[in-house]
Chains A and B, each alone.
Chain A
Amino acid sequence: MSVAEVISVAEDLRPVLIAKGITKSFPGVLALDNVDFNVRAGEVTALLGENGAGKSTLIKMMAGFYAPDRGEITVDGVVLSPDPSSAHRVGVATIHQDAHLVPAMSAAENIMLGRWPTRYGWLNKRLQKERAARALARVAPHLNPSTPAGRLSSADQQLVEIARAISEDSKVLIMDEPTTSLSPPEIDRLFNVVEDLKSKGMSIVFVSHWLEEVFRIADRVTVLRDGRLIGTRPISELDHDKVIRMMVGREVRDTILTKRPVGDVVLKVSKLTRENVLENISFEVRAGEIVGMSGLVGAGRSELAAAIFGIDPYDSGSVEIGGIAVSPNDPKAAIEAGVGLVPEDRRQQALVGLMSVKSNITLSLLDRISSFGFLSMAKEQAIADREIRALAVKTPSSKTRVSTLSGGNQQKVVLARWLARKPKLLILDEPTKGIDVGAKSEISELILRLAEGGMAILLISSELPEILTLTDRVLVMRSGRISASLPKEQATAETIMSFATTG
């Protein structure tokens, strides 16, 4: 039975999923306050709002992860009980913001996860492969069902999750920030799949902080702010500015570039080489300069950052900060030499989930806030309060566990850590990933202010607009090499893309 047979397209636009009066609180936070939300058959609904607005919380409720404190969710008239398996039964499939497949299991096993077909109680591998392959063929014909999920790119992992939704004959597919780690072609492919599913009558809910994407694919927009429903409108009634006003309740300024004086060389990378990863990389970044680093996913940008910061070893070449060579493979030495890194994967590489917001902010400052090994609690508190205010981190308190913050606010905590340390060189790897529109422009301004203050900045970003507006110079990487170094005047979307793909 395919999705198309189950849901007749003629029934279009009737609400499939209705969430009524949803209220949900966590210790210290009212995450959702009496929110109504519905999803109609054959439509794409974009769920928008600033970081911490409550989007993921609402989604987790529809996925049966949390029970609402008040309110009710029904799918085709059936009340959803707070239990993920109930959500699956009534036809709601969800791809969470921090989702995951079982890395060691094959794509096919992941698609059939928990529903492995059996015969006489034994796993029927053949049937499993067949069913998985059928679902996979619709969204990702290029994938081999027996590849372990851990070896797939994040884009392909997502497609596997979508295939799982299809194989379950889900009526509603919910995706929480599905595009954050995808490259433009991968986003295109994802959106083609979405269009296809929609035309077959499936309802899709998705969250994105990129309005371009919203206008490209959504039929309706629902906006949340501070846990309250601001409104639901057809996309045809909206434009960019209207959406932003609904989300933040005010206008967002465009970032204005100012001319900055450029100082001495802060970072000097010479002939850096790591077999099969980086090849003969040389470049410099000066104080007050913002150097962009562009390239496709997998071009070696994060690997370069890892080598500079001493996370990964390299075979030959050198990294100098302020004229002094930093020893490889030692992040502590890099930090002491004056390097800061905001890594792409904050959950894995930057945050200690069990610790408080405060302790996470000061984690790389322990030497500065202690004397004779003893921490100064007052200093720590003062620094944390200052940075929380400066970045408008939305948290009930500085003592809240960082893992309970929304995705975007967790990212701000990582930024705050390095702002507090004031390194000479700050490497930012996709700093606005998962950050809302308002905060994005704040972070852009912040980067400019830091550069004005004389910090050297290496900005790795897949967002061309971000690169184009912020940077003084763009390095383009392709298969582990720098394929171009473009001064501001020559850096355009076209030149960058051409060097990224065929330099």
Chain B
Amino acid sequence: MADRVPQSSGLSALRGRISFIDLVQSLGLMAIILLGGLIMTAMSPVFATVRNIENVLQSATIIAVVAIGQTFVILVAGIDLSVASVLVLSSVLAVGLVQFQGLSPEIAIILALCAGLGIGLVNGLAVTKLRIPPLIATLATMTIGRGMAYIYSGGTNIAPVPRIFIDLQASRFLGVPGVIVLTLVLAALAQIVLSRTQFGRSVYATGGNPLAARLAGIKTERVIIAAFMISGLMSAIAGLLITARFEAGAATAAQGLELAVIAAVVIGGVSLFGGEGNIGSMLLGVLLLGLVQNAVNLLNVPPNWDSVVSGLVIAAAAALDVYRRSYLEAGMRKKIIAKAARSTPKTS
């Protein structure tokens, strides 16, 4: 039997390089981001200031937190359009429950998060038990969620916000704004869950091949429901962040945010077909999108043109990424042949 084990000659040396590809892949987005940053530094004196960078990162936190949840849903081959509605609902609840119902801010925040979990649960049940396609199910909760936020808030933003939000926005850890730290902590947690836990592995398996996952003993329906609940929870947390940022229960904010989030997640290498992607490179997608937005603002692109410009940059980034990947593979291939030619003696 020993002679049937994979021939080890040139191959063992290549082993390490397989995961190296993943690394270079995220470096690719990183490179685009750095290049964009350099160009921006040259074109705008404001860009490379601490204040502007902090601003870019801070506004990216909201998309990032929502995108973390969305990543779970897309990994199980679903999609969640209700995220922006959950976000505003959570925002108006967190402020409104204090102002209108007189609850303590802590209770209000907990209830706001529960609302997110609840809508996630409804999405999950609709998709698994009623077998409504995720696009339709979450389109429905998206409309309903936004409507409820309007009804509750009376269609306007609610202010002032409890002290706790002001403090959150002002907080700093080691000089870094608290909301950025919070986002990074959530991202790290999500990455650990995805790569190191039984649940995370089940997420990838369910998205990659639901039937095979089920036959391997994974309760795929529960996994899908959990993914939607995580997305709901994350959107609700993002709702708290936006409350802190705008200092208001923001009923009218985040219009079209769900599409920006989905774009960021996909640019970050998460496959819309499910089963593929990770939080780290996904965050780079968010960052790229944030950068484009910032560039559009700083360079005074006429308001009517900014979405056109963003769209073009997104398409260019995606194309560049595809090109780089195939270029990389071709290079690897040449190396393997050269190596094999050197190291394997010809047999019969």
Residues of A within 8 A of B (CB): 23, 25-30, 33, 50, 69-70, 225-226, 228, 230-231, 248-250, 309, 311, 331-332, 335-336, 341, 343, 348-355, 359, 363-364, 366-367, 370, 373-375, 377, 389, 392, 394-397, 399-400, 417, 438-439, 442
Contact = CB atoms under 8 A, between A and B. Distances in A.
Contacts of A442: 1
Identify whether the interface residues of A are mostly helix, strand, loop, or mixed: mixed
B6 A33 contact: no
Contacts of A228: 346-347
A487 B329 CA distance: 56
A27 B21 contact: yes
Contacts of A349: 211-212, 215
A37 B10 CA distance: 25
Interface stretch (B96-104, B117-125, B201-209, B234-242): B201-209
B329 A27 contact: yes
Nearest to B209: A352
B175 to A, nearest CB: 33
20 contacts: A26-B333, A30-B337, A30-B340, A230-B348, A332-B217, A335-B216, A335-B217, A348-B211, A352-B204, A354-B204, A359-B201, A363-B201, A366-B218, A373-B198, A375-B197, A377-B196, A389-B5, A395-B6, A396-B6, A397-B11
A69 B214 CA distance: 39
B11 A29 contact: yes
Interface of B: 1, 3-7, 10-11, 14-15, 17-19, 21, 196-199, 201-202, 204-205, 208-209, 211-219, 271, 275-276, 329, 332-334, 336-337, 340, 344, 346-348
A377 B196 CA distance: 8
Contacts of A370: 197-198
Contacts of A309: 215
B72 to A, nearest CB: 15
A249 B205 CA distance: 38
Contacts of B17: 27-28
A396 B14 contact: yes
Contacts of A336: 217
B198 A25 contact: no
B213 A352 contact: yes
A255 B223 CA distance: 44
B11 A28 contact: yes
Nearest to B273: A354
Which of B11, B202, B212, B275 has the most C-beta atoms of chain A within 10 angstroms of its own C-beta? Answer: B212
Contacts of A231: 348
A343 B333 CA distance: 34
Contacts of B336: 25, 27-30
Contact of B205 (A30, A331, A363): A363
A26 B334 CA distance: 10
Closest 3 interchain pairs by CB? A352-B208, A364-B216, A335-B217
A443 to B, nearest CB: 12
A364 B3 contact: no
B170 to A, nearest CB: 36
A231 B332 CA distance: 29
